[in-house]
Each structure stands twice: as C-alpha cells, then as structure tokens.
C-alpha cells in the first residue's frame, strides 16, 4: 500500500479557511462532505482530519497525525503543559493567523507596566505561557484560567489584568483595556513530531514542503513591468526591491525607452512606484505571482 500523510487542520474557525487555502495552493483539492471528520485530498496522497484547534498539537505529538496546522499560541501552550508533547517540531512558519498574546489592564486603572502586576490577579486561557513569562520577569501574580470572554474579567472583578490574544486591538478598546506587554507573537505553524517518517512518507512530505515553500515565497513576490528611459535605466533598476537580473528589452519604434521586467522578492510599496515614476518610468504594472519554483 502506498504511503498517505495524515494532516490535522482546524475544522472551523479563524485558522480553517487559510489552512485549506494554503493546501489548495499546494495542489491539494479537498472535497469536504458536510459533517465528515476526514477527507482524502486529491493531488497528493494526504488524508485530512478536521478537529478543534486545541486538539491538533496533541494528535501530532501522539503520532495519530503526521502533520498539523495550528496557531503557535496553542502549540506552545500544549508543549509547556503536557510533558509528552516535548516531541513537537515546527516544520514551517506559515505567516497567516497572526496575532499576539498580550497583557492588558483597564485603561483607567493603575497597572501600566509589567512590574505593576506583582501580587495582582490575571485572567487568561494561556496559563502555562503566562506562568513562564511571569517567572522569566521574576514576577509573582495569581492566574485565573478562563476558557473564553477573558476580556470582561476585569469589569466583573474576576481579575486585575488579562493575558489574551489580540489581533486588531478592537476587543481591548471596546472593553476599556490597554495593552502594555507581549508574551508571544504568534502565527500558524506546520508542525510534526520528532519520529522519523518512513521513507515514502518522508518523500511525500518533501514534495509538499517544496510546494509550500513556493507558495510562501510567492506571497510577497511580484512581477513588475515598466518602460524606462534608457538614460535612467540604472537608477530605475536600482529601485526595484529584491530584484535579481531584470530583463531589458527594446521597444518597437521607440529608441529612447526600453521595457524592464523583473521578479521582485520584496514588497513593492506605493513609495517605490512613485519614485519610479519620478525618474520617468511609464506603464508600470505590478502582477501577482501564483506559483514559484527554483
């Protein structure tokens, strides 16, 4: 029987859509029957398991799944809390579901810095990471574990401060809270465990990773095309961010300009386009790149 990789992803929630989109960009078509907990992908032999995000690290650690896509915040909490989970490995940082685990306290109160937490009570869903952070800071504080609605704990007099995930910051503002320290900057991770995969599975993982690396690299990468005055060619190519060896082509019927095409491996900001235009570049096009290899 040929090898099949088992990959755990979040069933529904903030990670689910981006996880499936990434797999799709890697050439895996996933037809999900409503209610089904598993699906066989087409494109590469991969079985998907749809679970709660909190269960992903445990399933990978126990070897039930070879791989998982989960938030770093959850993976780290499991790794700190469960001694058996010290075999978890980060295979790739995936760049989506970015958020930060932050400390925050009522804006109108007197907790403004980490030192002000001494002897206070902090509500969180991430007690292991908070405890480790407090220890590293040499602070003593009480921890109240709440599974949800952490942000209302100070208003209910359950805690003096909170340690919770923040993305836009709107929830903190809506609850009259202000953040003053960061415990973790988090993003989605592709995780595995430290047991060596059998050779066929290892080959399969290598193929998947090559595709994933291509997808991740192509996110910031753009293809830029423009017409440049010959006289300003050096200046213009020097402005292209992360471009190696642009292609320069003659333009039919125009001896004073040339066409410049380049792959830019860094973000092209509006400032760059304005600077290019100021040096005489015309017909500037910035195109997304769908896939990259080599």
Residue 15 interacts, among Zn ion, ligand PRT, none and using kind-specific CB cut-offs from 5 to 8 Å, with ligand PRT
What b-and-e string marks burial along 199-208, b requiring 16 or more CB atoms within 10 Å of the CB?
eebeebbeeb
What is the distance between the alpha carbons of residues 51 and 70, in angstroms, rounded to a whole number? 11
Largest CA distance in the chain: 78
Residues paired with residue 288 on neighbouring β-strands, in sequence order: 222
How many residues interact with ligand PRT (rule CB under 6 A)? 21
Q: What is the DSSP string of 69-81?
A: EEEHHHHHHHHHH
CA atoms within 13 A on the CB side of 150: 24
Q: Supply the minimum distance, in Å, between the C-beta of residue 229 and ligand PRT.
A: 46
168-227 residues in contact with ligand PRT (CB under 6 A) are 168-171, 186
Q: Residue 183: which residues within 8 A CB-CB, separation 6 or more? A: 100, 101, 102, 103, 126, 129, 130, 133, 163
Sheet of 161-166, strand order? 142-145, 121-124, 161-166, 99-106, 177-186
What track of x and - describes contact with Zn ion for positions 199 through 238 (by CB under 5 A)? ----------------------------------------
Does 164 contact ligand PRT by CB under 6 A? yes
Burial of 54 (0-12, 13-18, 19+ CB in 10 A): middle
**Does 77 participate in binding ligand PRT (rule CB under 6 A)?**
no
Nearer to ligand PRT, 78 or 226 (CB): 78
CB nearer ligand PRT, residue 54 or residue 235: 54
Residue placing its CB nearer to ligand PRT in the complex, 4 or 100: 100
- By C-beta, is 51 or 240 nearer to Zn ion? 51
- Contact status: 140 vs ligand PRT (CB under 6 A): no
Q: Is 160 in the site for Zn ion (CB under 5 A)?
A: no
111 binds, among Zn ion, ligand PRT, none (CB under 5 to 8 A by kind): none
Of residues 51 through 90, those in contact with Zn ion by CB under 5 A are 53-54
Distance CA 236, CA 260 (A): 9
Q: Which of 6, 7, 8, 10 binds ligand PRT (CB under 6 A)?
A: 10
Q: Does 129 bind ligand PRT (CB under 6 A)?
A: no
Name the burial class of residue 101, with classes exposed (0-12), middle (13-18) and buried (19+) by CB atoms within 10 angstroms of its CB.
Answer: buried
Does position 93 interact with ligand PRT (CB under 6 A)? The reply is no
* Of positions 73, 129, 193, 218, contacts ligand PRT by CB under 6 A: 73
At residue 176, the 3 state secondary structure works out as coil
Task: Write out the binding residues for Zn ion, residues 18-57 only, by CB under 5 A.
Answer: 53-54
| Window 42 to 61, contacts with ligand PRT (CB under 6 A) | 52-54
* Structure letter (DSSP) for residue 33: P
Per CB under 6 A, residues contacting ligand PRT are 10, 13-15, 52-54, 71, 73-74, 97, 99, 164-171, 186
Per CB under 5 A, residues contacting Zn ion are 53-54
């Amino acid at each position: 029987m040929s090898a099949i990789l088992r990959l755990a992803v979040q069933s529904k929630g903030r990670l689910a859509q981006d996880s499936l989109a990434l797999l799709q960009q890697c050439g895996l078509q996933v037809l999900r029957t409503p209610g089904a907990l598993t699906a066989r992908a087409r494109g590469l032999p991969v079985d998907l398991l749809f679970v709660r995000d909190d269960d992903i690290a445990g399933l990978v650690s126990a070897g039930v799944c070879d791989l998982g896509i989960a938030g770093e915040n959850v993976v780290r909490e499991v790794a700190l809390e469960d001694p058996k989970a010290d075999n978890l490995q980060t295979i790739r940082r995936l760049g989506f579901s970015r958020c930060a685990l932050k400390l925050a306290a009522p804006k109108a109160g007197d907790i403004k810095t980490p030192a002000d937490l001494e002897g206070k009570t902090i509500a969180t869903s991430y007690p292991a990471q908070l405890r480790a952070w407090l220890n590293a800071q040499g602070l003593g504080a009480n921890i109240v574990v709440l599974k949800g609605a952490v942000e209302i704990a100070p208003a209910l007099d359950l805690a003096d401060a909170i340690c919770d995930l923040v993305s836009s910051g709107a929830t903190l503002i809506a609850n009259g809270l202000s953040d003053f320290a960061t415990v973790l900057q988090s993003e989605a991770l592709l995780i595995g465990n430290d047991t060596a995969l059998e050779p066929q599975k290892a080959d399969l993982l290598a193929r998947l990773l090559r595709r994933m690396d291509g997808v991740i690299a192509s996110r910031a990468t753009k293809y830029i095309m423009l017409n440049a005055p010959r006289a300003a060619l050096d200046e213009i190519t020097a402005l292209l961010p992360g471009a190696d060896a642009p292609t320069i082509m003659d333009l039919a019927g125009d001896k004073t300009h040339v066409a410049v095409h380049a792959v830019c491996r860094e973000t092209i900001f509006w400032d760059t386009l304005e600077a290019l235009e100021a040096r005489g570049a015309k017909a500037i096009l910035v195109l997304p790149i769908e896939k990259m290899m080599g």
